[in-house]
Amino acid sequence: MNEQNRSVNPVSSASLPPQSVRQEGYTSIQAINESVVASSSWVGLLRREMAKSIIGQEHLVERLLVGLLTGGHILLEGLPGLAKTLAVKTLAMVIHTDFQRIQFTPDMLPADIIGTQIYNPKDTLFEVKQGPIFSSLILADEINRAPAKVQSAMLEAMQEKQVTIGDETFRLPELFLVLATQNPIEQEGTYPLPEAQVDRFMMKVIVDYPSMTQERMILDAVDHTDSVVVVNPVVGPDDILASRRVVDSIYMDDKIKDYIVSLVCATRDPRSFKLDLHDYIETGASPRATINLKTVSRALAFLAGRGYVTPDDVKSAAMDVMRHRIRISYEAEAEAITTEDIIRKILDTVPVP
C-alpha cells in the first residue's frame, strides 16, 4: 500500500478506541497527534537535504527514516550503483552525530570491527583498543562479502547494544544504528548472512532501479566529474530520541495487534488461515517479526502525521519486515515462488480489521 493511499484512507474502526472509552480515547489521540506534529518538524528538513543527493528512491529514504525513529537496524539489498551507500552516507551527514563506515572484505577479522586488546609494555598491562563499531551510525558496506566469523562479531552489538572485548563489556551509544548494504547473493564473492544475524535486522529493503524520468534527472544533476553536493546537518540525537518516545506512544488498537499476530502466524501455520502455502514455507517468521511490525507501523503513522496506526500501516510494513524472516522450501524454488509472493498471498487472505 503506497503512501498516498495510507494518507487519504478514512479512519477504520480498528484505529479507534473501544466504545466504552471512546471520548477519552479521542482526547488522548488528539494529544498524540499534537505531539507527532511538534516532534516531527525535522523530518521534512531531513528529506529536503537528502533529496539534494538522492534522486527518487522515496521508499529507501522513508525506510531509513523509520530506522532512525525506531532504532531498528536495516539491511539494504540491491545491485551496485543504486545509491545504497550514498543514501546512508548522506543520512549521516544531515545528522549531528558520529559516523563510521566499515567496508567488509573476505580477509576481515572480528577485531577489525569490535576492537581488541593491545599489550602495553610500559605498564605491563593489556589495554582495550575500541573498533569502529563504537559509533552512533554504522554503515556496514557490502556486509555479505565477509565470512561468518566476522558477521558473528556483530550479533551482540546489534541485539544488546554492547560489545565484549576480553573480560570487559562496553555500552554502545544510545542512538546506535546499523545500516548495512549487501549485493544479491548471486553476485561473485558474496557469503549468505547467518540466519541469526539476518533476523536482527528490523527490515530488509530491496533497492531497485530508478524510473526513466528519475534516471534523466540523475543525468542532468551530474554536470561535472568533480561536482560535490553539499548537505547540511538539520537534526541532532536529542531530537531523534525525543521523536522515538513519541513513536512509542502512538495508539494501536487491539484489533490491529491481533491482525499483526495473524499475519506472522500465517507464515508458520498457513493451513489455519486456509492458505495453501504449507509446502512452500520451510520456516516462518520469528517473534521479532511481530515486534518489528508493531514498531514499524507506529513509525509509518508518525511519518504520516497521525497519532494512531491503521491497517494500511501494517500492510505497508509487512513486506520489508517479513521478507528476510521466511525461508522457502525447495518446492517453492522449483516453482519460482518467492518470499514476496508468499507475503502478498497472506496479505490478500488474512482478514483486515
Q: How confident is the model at residue 5 (pLDDT cuts 50, 70, 90)?
A: very low
| Res. 18: pLDDT tops 70 | no
In this model, does residue 11 exceed pLDDT 60? no
- CATH 3.60.15.10 given to domain 1-51+250-353: no
Residue 7 pLDDT class (50, 70, 90 cuts): very low
Find residue 164's DSSP bridge partners: 169
Q: Which residues face 169 on adjacent strands? A: 164
For residue 93, give the C-alpha cell. Answer: 551527514
Grid coordinates 471520548 are at which residue?
23
Determine the pLDDT at residue 187. 62
The b/e string for 267-303 (b: 16+ C-beta within 10 A; e otherwise) is beebeebebebeebbeebbbebbbebbbbbbbbbbbb
pLDDT recorded at residue 126: 81
255: left (phi over 0), alpha (psi -120 to 50) or beta: alpha
pLDDT tens per residue, range 165-224: 888 889 998 889 999 988 876 666 677 788 888 888 999 999 888 888 888 888 887 776
What is the pTM (predicted TM-score) of this model?
Answer: 0.85
β-pairing verdict for 281-283 and 99-103: unpaired
Answer with the residue of higher pLDDT: 70 or 218: 70
- Cα–Cα distance, 34 to 204 (Å, whole number): 31
